[in-house]
A and B are shown apart, each in its own frame.
Chain A
Amino acid sequence: MTVEALAGMRVLDFTTGVAGPYATKLLADHGASVLKVEPPNGDSARRQGPFAGDEPHVEGSARFLSLNTNKRSMTLNLDTEEARGIVRRLVPEQDVIVEDFEPGFLRERGLGYEDLETLRPGIILVSLTPWGQFGPYVEYKQSDLIAQAMSGPMLWTGNAEREPLKLAGAVSHYHAGAMTALAATIAHYRQELTDEGEHVDISIYETQASSRDRVQPHITNYSYNGSEPGRRRAGVSLATGVRPCADGYVNIAGGTSERIPRFLRMIGREDLLGDERLAALPAPLAAELVEDIETSYLEWLMQRTKRQVVEEAQRARVMAAAINTPEDLVSDPHYRARGVWETIDHPHTGPVEYPGRPFIFSETPRAPARRAPLLGEHTAEELTRLGYHDADLSRLRELSVI
């Protein structure tokens, strides 16, 4: 019998939206016991599309469903003293608390780090906010778009003749969420060794300024010599970048001096292999030679589908990828063969395929995922465990505590 890597780790989760829930999903998916405390009207992600069947429903949000697998849900209104009392009774059972309230919110409610540490010595509090717990911008509003604009790589993405592009799909929040999960497990590792607590201050803004998607190296480069990167299309150099083919677009890297012989053989232009003008690489080649090569390349591409191009190029040891649509991705034979997709049943949506494990452990494999919880699905169970009776639950509901 195998155990999951985070078996026995207990997490109380006060987060909503994308970043925090992605962090606690990573923990829950690998065996941590995560109790998600939602406000009585639910995590805001429950009201964000796309929805199953295009019908807005609190249990039908694709965003919520994919971000909250393996968690349990209870509702609590933290603006009531009774709810805060329930939290104080839950805290001693936890190893880690993850929260994304504005700075000071928990402290004002008697649940700051010192309060929590008194309730559960050695607790880890992970506070995830747009700007961090302090700094001149803490009162300002921030969203995924604003984070990408200011501390992300947005200015360097897209076509120089047009407006810069953010990276679609709220990726700054997912990246920050992955950082949060990492910070939580690193702090938890020390906690298990020393019994000492920690307050982790995560700023989405700083996670983006630390991102390996160009920001960290570009800032380092600026610090070294004051230069700035540009904003460029993909596919400006010989045989390299995004090109059209019979059914879409592909991205190939074939134009370096090392790869060009393999590339020319691949597109059937062996006749150019001995051409002395190729020796000029990596400097730009003569314009008529570039046009000759690119014309043959385009003809070759237009006779092939994305998948054919990628397979032939990779066989020729030329790095290549398709610009896949969601349909291409979900039907792709490689992902099918590796069993990436995981079917999860849910009372509102029925069985649906989700992206499964992000990595594979040889000794601590993931258990099959449990669906995201219904809103407050485990409230009664948790309160009963704490000694509340049915009559108490009705009263708490009437008082809008749960």
Chain B
Amino acid sequence: MKILIVEDEKALLETLVASLTKEHFVIETASDFRSASEKMALYDYDCILLDIMLPHGSGLELLQQLKQDGKTANVIIISAKDSLDDKLKGLEWGADDYLTKPFHIAELNARIKAVIRRNKLDGKNTIEMTNMVLDLTERTFFVNQQNVPLNRKEFDILNYFMLNKNRLVTKTALAEHVWGDNTDQADNYDFIYYQIKNLRKKLNEAQAEIEIEAVYGIGYKLIET
């Protein structure tokens, strides 16, 4: 998997590279309009993370150029502007997703994997791991070919963890992903603990070969056992 990150903020670029390298992606970077335009014209990428506000030009122009060149790369726009206009324009011009800064690393991982999966044409929309299969179309979960019933939120939590295997998922990231992005209230994310406890119990009973580990009280990590 080859990913191009177009982002002018050096520090953010570095963290994105560090994080995505862990997912074993091949990463290339561009930090201004010209070099991004050049790379996008010369090479093919599976996914492009595109900042809208760039020195010497707009990410939206790069998007147009990419589509005119007939490239099929998945594009996720990363913007500091949570503007409906940009979002609509971006999606209309062929972006696959739109992520507003600041975002959690886990969320970015999940989005990248989701768009890559969506555009794979093998028609299979499942995530497989050890002895488990998560069917995203049917929203069903199998361990050793046995159906394990999960409610909507348990399914979403597990899905999120599986997209972020071996990675830290903070409680905040999980809450925002599963319970919605209404961030104003003083959310005390302690309630998540009970949700995880229930999920762990179901996984244990079904003998799934994974474990949800707590990480310093900040979040969780899904690991294979």
A, B co-complexed: no
Chain A interfacial positions (CB closer than 8 Å to B): none
Chain B interfacial positions (CB closer than 8 Å to A): none
